[in-house]
Structure 1
């Protein structure tokens, strides 16, 4: 198994986890925080998808899926490409209002499809390419891809936990 296969296998686990976290939840359940200051399922899945969309679009030097079509409208938001949820206050978290579980699934799938395309074209030498010199040491493509999937896996696990707290199984 080469590195492309390992990364593809890892990223391909996310769709089932995302579906398991949101499938069957009502818009109200998606927006319900389990406690004051905690993040609801809908925000967590929106955020993990925004991070992947933002970073992969940057790697490909293309427009984010978020700013094409009416993705933002389906969440009650504007198509601000810089709004990925990082540093959101509880008030800002509350503005993320997915119209349905399907809206989250559709947006995630559109982003995941783009990511699969990036991964399909990877060669081992590509992973050493520096993609962000703002850090010390500079971030390589390989490190960025691992960082994104690590963040996504943490947040989808949180979403599954919050789903359980809601009594939604």
Structure 2
């Protein structure tokens, strides 16, 4: 099973939770979970084992995030189109993406994923610069990825209307 499909299955994503995840509040708060997680792990320096509480809170929020917001109401919102594009991207084996989107999303994900290396190193050695580099690479890459997915959704919607 592909990692993205395993994560989707593990999160228990139903049609309803996807509609809730497409709410702009869900998108932006989920993006901020990367720096929140980094800060929670970093807090071990100040509070020791008590840092497990904020770490668990961030992980719990990630699970609840797709369930606590109301369903998206405006498909014109960039955030909503991005999440609708994510659903198309996740189904790329069943319905292949246009070549230009498939190639671009591959490289964006690959580049963004490299941010895990400095993030883990920075959190392990409590190196602020490495941690910030990892967070910026991951969040920046995720924003770029979401923008590409919004474009994918727009292209898909336009081709559906034309066909």
Higher helix share: 2
Greater RCO (Cα-Cα under 8 Å, separation 6 or more): 1
Calculate the TM-score normalised by the size of structure 2. Answer: 0.35
Calculate the TM-score normalised by the size of structure 1. Answer: 0.34
